[in-house]
Chains A and B, each alone.
Chain A
Amino acid sequence: MSDQINDSRRSFLSKAAIAGSITIAPGVFLHQTAQAKPDDQAVSSKTRWGMLIDTDKCAKGCTGCVDACNNEHSLTGHGRPETDTQYIRKVSLVEKQTGHEISLPLMCQHCENPPCVDVCPTGASFKREDGIVLVDKHICIGCRYCMMACPYKARSFIHEVIENQTLSAPRGKGTVESCTMCTHRVDKDGIPACVEACTEDDHNAMIFGDLNDPNSEISKELKKHGGKQIRADLQLNTGVRYQGL
Chain B
Amino acid sequence: MGTTSVGSFFGSFLRDTLAIAAKDLRSEFRTKEALNASFAFSVVILVLFSFAFDPSSEQLQTISGGLLWLVFSFAGALILNRSFARELQNDCLDALISSPAPAGALFLGKAVANFVLLMIVELASLGVFGIFYDSRFGAQLGSIALVIALGTWGITVIGTMFSALTVNLRMREMMLPTLVYPLLIPALMAAMTLTTDLMNGTPFGKDNTIWLRVLTGFDFIYSILAVVFIDVVLIG
Chains A and B come from one and the same complex = no
Task: Give residues in B with beta carbon < 8 Å to A.
Answer: none
Task: Give residues in A with beta carbon < 8 Å to B.
Answer: none
